[in-house]
Amino acid sequence: MRSRVRANIYLVVLLLSVFGKLVAQDKDIRVHDPVMIEENGTYYLFCTGNGISVFSSYDMVEWKREESVFDEPPAWTDSVVPGFKGHIWAPDISYYNGKYYLYYSVSAFGKNTSAIGLVTNKTLNAYDPSYKWEDQGVVVESIPGRDLWNAIDPNLVEDEKGSPWLVFGSFWEGMKMFQLSSDRTAPKEPQQWITVAKRARTDFIDDSKPGDAAIEAPFIFKKDGSYYLFVSWDYCCRGKESTYKVVVGKSNNVTGPYMDKEGKRMDQGGGTLVVQGDDRWAGVGHNSAYTFNDKDYLVFHGYDLNSNGAPKLMIREISWTIDGWPQVELEVAEQ
């Protein structure tokens, strides 16, 4: 009798668990700055949010909200941004040597009072006994009055030798890059800094402000021996008034120079349009790019005019021209 009762209880718990997962899933999730990775048949999505928001999916269509990475802000954040409340921006996820590396941004909006941090984990499965996020502290910090760059929007990329590089930046004097140390926690010494993309800035009245050179969110994708540098131009975070768009350049070297389709360098304002808004979507941008099951995908967010400009997750397959340039159709059949 007791075994039958236990079995019935187990069945009820299982059904409740399955039901809970079903009701928690959503095709139409709201995100900013999404990045994605696959582990053992499950896709994990990380994005801007309190403590870094996390979602999981088996098919990149139905998404289930998971627990945030941080329950409370890392201890060091208050020294960088006094009074920081834990709303962490623009993460980047990668896997190396048995661990997942999640870089993230801590910043004061509209200022380069910012830092990029790093947290690691052996698994992304919260039910695995070894699941534990361990913060590694600050990787790089920008300080107003000292730096004409902004330490946010990180992306890790490996060169042809497997050496890690971090590309990042928002507004100011553009997208910066440096090689990481072998443990991927700090710049490699001696430091070598490179500007890989920027736009012309006309507002130099106050260098403590971002200015009008609207560029951010760099992401480098490797394909067929080339490196593709995606960046977002213009303005996010304005709902229906957002003007975000994604442009790209490519290079044979991870450090560039990155050239657009017309042969203009991205560090001199170049960029070939990949995707922009339309009658359904306002700005679209802050992308990442991946290959899953032999297909290439652009993962980004768009401001949905059918939902009063709410930021929605967008995943679109990338097609390639004969001469090796990425193309993305914004309006496709809903996934």
- Residue in 250, 264, 263, 265 with CA at minimum distance from that of residue 195: 265
Q: Are 68 and 52 in contact (CB under 8 A)?
A: yes
Residues 6+ apart with CB under 8 A from 88: 48, 49, 50, 51, 52, 69, 70, 73, 104, 105, 106
Q: Assess contact for 80 and 138: CB atoms under 8 A.
A: yes
Q: Are 158 and 165 in contact (CB under 8 A)?
A: yes
Q: Residues 249, 259: contact at Cβ < 8 Å?
A: yes
Options 33, 173, 260, 304, the catalytic residue? 33
Does residue 33 have an active-site annotation? Answer: yes
Q: Cα(54)–Cα(7) distance, rounded to whole angstroms?
A: 33
pLDDT at 18: 41
Residue, of 321 and 332, whose pLDDT is higher: 321
Q: Is the predicted pLDDT of residue 333 greater than 80, yes or no?
A: no
Determine if residue 77 is left, alpha or beta; phi over 0 gives left, psi from -120 to 50 gives alpha, anything else beta: alpha
Sequence-ordered list of residues with C-beta below 8 angstroms from that of 6, at least 6 positions apart, any chain: none
Query: 3-state DSSP call for residue 23?
Result: helix
> Looking at this protein, which amino acid is placed at residue 184?
R
Confidence at residue 207, expressed as pLDDT on a 0 to 100 scale: 62
Structural domain boundaries of the chain? Answer: 2-327
Predicted local distance difference test score (pLDDT) of residue 322: 95
Q: What is the pLDDT of residue 142?
A: 95
Average of pLDDT values for 59-82?
A: 95
pLDDT at 200: 85
The one catalytic residue in 92, 135, 153, 216 is: 216
Q: What share of the chain is helix, strand, coil (3-state, %, to 5)?
A: 10, 45, 45
Tell me what percent of the residues of the chain surpass a pLDDT of 70: 89
CA distance linking residue 144 with residue 187, whole number of Å: 20
Three-class secondary structure of residue 158 per DSSP: strand
pLDDT at 186 > cutoff 60:
yes
Q: How confident is the model at residue 110 (pLDDT cuts 50, 70, 90)?
A: confident
Written as six digits, the tokens of 24 are: 């928690």
pLDDT at residue 173 tops 80: yes
Say yes or no to pLDDT of 209 above 90: no
- Across 248-273, average pLDDT: 97
For 2-327, CATH gives: 2.115.10.20
Q: Among 296, 332, 326, 325, which Cα is nearest to 36's? A: 296
Mean pLDDT throughout 166-177?
95
**Position 9 pLDDT exceeds 70:** no
Q: pLDDT grade, residue 3 (50/70/90)?
A: very low
- Given a cut of 60, whether residue 7 has pLDDT beyond it is no
Q: Is the pLDDT of residue 121 over 50?
A: yes
Per residue in 288-298, pLDDT tens? 999 999 999 99
Q: Where does 214-309 have alpha helices with state H? A: none
Eight-state DSSP code of residue 257: -
- Indicate the length of the chain as a whole number: 335
Distance separating alpha carbons of residues 248 and 259, to the nearest angstrom: 8
Within a 10 A sphere around the Cβ of 23, how many other Cβ atoms? 9
Model pLDDT, residue 302: 96
User: Please, what is the average pLDDT of the chain?
Assistant: 90
In the prediction, which pLDDT does 206 show? Answer: 63
Q: Using CA atoms, how far apart are residues 26 and 45, in angstroms rounded to an integer?
A: 13
In 10 A of CB 85, how many CB atoms?
A: 11
Q: For residue 135, indicate whether it is catalytic.
A: no
Task: Please tell me the predicted confidence (pLDDT) of residue 212.
Answer: 77
Residue 305 vs residue 16, higher pLDDT: 305
Which one, of 68, 64, 51, lies nearest residue 17 by Cα?
Answer: 64
